[in-house]
Structure 1
Amino acid sequence: MSAGLPVLVGIDGSLDGLIALGWAASYATLRRAPLHAVYVLDEQRQLPASTPPTGPDDGSEVLADALEELERLRFTAASLEVRHGHPTKVLLELSERAQALVVGRRGMGGFAELVLGSTSQACTALSTDVPLIVVPDTWDPTAPPHRRIVVGIDGSVEGQDALRFAFELADATNAELLGVHAAAVRESYPDPNVWVDPSRQPWAGAADQLLAQTLDDWNAKYPEVSVDQRAVADHPVRVLANESEFADLMVVGGLGHTSFSELRLGSVARGLLHHSHCPVAVIHHT
C-alpha cells in the first residue's frame, strides 16, 4: 500500500453510500491516510418515466450528508468533491492515485451497477493496482468486531497479493487470519471402506498441504498473527459466504485458478459480493 495516498470512496446519496463512507473512514484511520469521497454525476443515466421532476442535481446535498456523517464519526482528514461522467470510469481513473477504492454494495444511483451489473465486472476487472473493497449494506460499524480476517486460498501465484494484504491488515488490527480453501471434489470416490483412514476424506490431505505450504511462509513474515486454516469441499461462494458471517473482512484474489478462477469476472465474484455478510476486498495481482 502506498503511504500518503488517500483512501477513495464512492458516495451516491444513499444510506448504503454512507455505510461505505464509514468503513472507508475507519480504514483510512488505520492506514493513517486521508480520505477522498467522490460523488459522480452520471448525466447519461436515464431516470424512470414515473420519477417526479426535481431541481438540477449539483451534488451539494450528497456532499452535505457525507460531511455530516464524517463529523459524526469525528473524521477530519477528508476531501469531498463532485465529478461528472460514468461512475466506473471516474472511480478507476481516480483510483490510480489512491491506495484503496471503497464502494457500497447497493445504492440508489449509478453505484448500484458497481456490484449488480456490468459496471461491477468492469470495475473488478480493471482495478488492478489498488484493493477494491465492497461494503454490504448490512455492515454494522457499531457491532463488536469478530477480530477475524478470512482469505480465500487457491495456491496460485496471483493469490499471493491477497495474502499479503490479509496478513498486513491482520497484523495491524490484531486479528486472527483464517485461510480457506474450497476443494474441487470429483463426483465419485472409491468406497470409504477402502480408504486408509475411513474417517478422513481423500481430498483432505492435499487440501491441508496446500493451505500449510501457502500460509507457513507468510506466517513466518508475520509471526504475531494467529493463523488457522480450513478446507471445505463445496462451492466457493457458499464456503466463503458462510465464513463471512463471523469475519470482519473477506479477502480474495482478483485472478487465480481452480475454485477461485471466476473471482475476476464471473459468477463466483457476483455471488460472493451478493451473499457476503462482511466487506469483501478483491486484490488484483499487479
Structure 2
Amino acid sequence: MVALSRVQRPNILFGYDGTEENEPALRWAVEESGLRGLDLVICHCWHWPYPPGHVDAGVEAIAQRAGENLLNEGARRARALGAGGNVSTVLRREPVTETLVLESDDAELIVVGSHERYNLLEASTAVQLPARTHRPVIAVRGAAAQRGLIVAGVDGSAGGDRALGFAIEEAALRDAGLRVVYGAWEPGAVPDHELPLFADADKLSEVRTAMLEEAVRPWRRRYPQVRVQVSLLLERPREALLEAAADADLLVVGDRGAGTLDPLLLGATSSAMLHHAPCAVAVVPRPRPAA
C-alpha cells in the first residue's frame, strides 16, 4: 500500500441501496478503503411510503427493520469482497443526499452508484451530492475491465489543481498511469485580456502548455513513481475529456462552477462528465464554508 503524503480522514463513506446496479460501487468503496487503509462506513436511507406528516409506527418499524437487514447484507458483502478495516453501518431516513452530506464529516471521500450514462436524472444522488458536499465524490457506473489509467481534467484554476492532486493520489494508490488533459478552447470562460489568444492558435498552445506544465510539476515531484502524460488539446473541455475517458478507469474533474449562478449546482463540465463519461467519475469540490 502506498503511503500518501498527507493525513487522511478516518473512513470511506458509501451510499448503499442493495440493488445489483449498486454492486460495482460497493466494490469500488471496498477497494478504496483497502488501498487507503481506512474504515468503511455503509450508509442506507430507508424510504417513507406515505406523505409527510403521516404517522404509522408499525410501518415505520417494518421499514427500519428492512433497512437494517439490507445494511447487514451490505456489510457481509463488503467483508466477502475483502474489506480489511472496520466495516460499520448507518441507517437513516431519506433524503439520501442530505444524509450523506451530514454523515461525511469524517469521510475522506464518498462513493455512490450511478445510472448508466445518458440515463442519469438531474435529481439523482450522483448529480446532487457533488454540488452539496465538501468531500470528493466518486460516482461509479457499471463494471468495466481495469485499464490502469486515470484521467484528470485541469484548467489552470485552483479547483483544477485540487482535482489533479486527487487524481495523482489515486494513480499512486492503484499503480496506474495518469493522463492530465487540458481542453483549452474556452473563449467564453477567460478574462477579456486573454481573448486575443484565440486568434492565434500557436500562441494559445504555447501559453496553455506552459500553464499545464507548471500545474503538473509539483505533483510530479511529490509522486515521482506515477507515470504522468500531459495532453493539451485545442478543443472544448467536454469533448477533450470525454475522448480521454474512453480508455480510463476513472475520470477526475474539479467543480469550478463556472456554468451556473446557483451554488447548489455543478459547473457545466463536471455535470456533463457525470452524465456522459463511460467510466467512474470523481468530482473534487471547491472548499465550501460549513453550513
Normalised TM-score (structure 2): 0.76
Distance 1:45 1:205 in 2: 60
Which residue of 120, 137, 143 maps to 1:139?
143
Q: Which residue of 2 aligns with 1:213?
A: 214
Summarize deviations over 1:201-245 as a string: whole Å, max 9, x none.
553222322211111122122222221111223332232122112
* SS of equivalent residue, structure 2 residue 130: helix
Partner residue, 1:73: 81
Hey, what's the Cα distance between the residues in 1 that align with 2:100 and 2:217?
36
Residue 273 of structure 2 corresponds to 272
Task: Indicate yes or no: 2:190 matched with 1:184.
Answer: no
1:156 and 1:257 in contact (8 A); partners too: no
Alignment of 1:35-74 (within 5 A): 35-43=40-48, 56-57=62-63, 58-74=66-82
**Residue 131 of structure 1: how far off its partner (Å):** 1.2
Partner secondary structure for residue 143 of structure 2? coil
Q: Which runs of 5+ in 2 are unaligned?
A: 1-5, 52-60, 189-199
Cα drift, residue 284 of structure 1: 1.7
Per the TM alignment, residue 62 of structure 1 is displaced from its structure 2 partner at its CA by 2.4
What are the superposed Cα offsets for residues 53-103 of structure 1, whole Å, 9 maximum, x if unpaired? Answer: xx9433144224423422431325311232113111110000112111110
Relative distance call for 1:186 and 1:62 in structure 2 (3 A) is same
**Alignment pair present for 1:87 and 2:73:** no
> How far, CA to CA, are the matches of 2:112 and 2:126 in structure 1?
10
Is 1:282 matched with 2:283?
yes
Q: Are residues 103 and 131 of structure 1, via their aligned partners in 2, closer, same or farther at CA, if it must alter by over 3 Å? A: same
2-structure distance, mates of 1:45, 1:9: 26
Equivalent-residue separation in structure 2 for 1:9 and 1:275 (angstroms): 22
The answer on whether the counterparts of 1:139 and 1:277 sit within 8 Å (CA) in structure 2 is no
Deviations 1:139-162 (A, max 9, x none): 33xx3x322211111001232221
Partner residue of 1:191?
Answer: none
Question: Is 1:159 paired with 2:164?
Answer: no
Aligned residue in 1 for 2:122 = 116
Change (3 A) 1:170 1:119: closer
Return the letter of the residue paired with 2:242.
A
TM-score (norm: length of structure 1): 0.78
* Equivalent residue number for residue 105 of structure 1: 114
Contact kept, 8 Å, 2:42 with 2:87, in 1: the verdict is yes
Q: Which one-letter code corresponds to 1:116 in the other structure? A: E
C-alpha spacing 1:256/1:267, structure 2 compared with 1 (3 Å): closer
Aligned to 2:150: 149
- Asked if 1:34 corresponds to 2:35, the answer is no
The count of residues paired between Structure 1 and Structure 2 equals 257
Residues 59 and 82 in structure 1, CA contact (< 8 A), matched pair in contact too: yes
RMSD of aligned Cα (Å): 3.3
2:191 is aligned to none
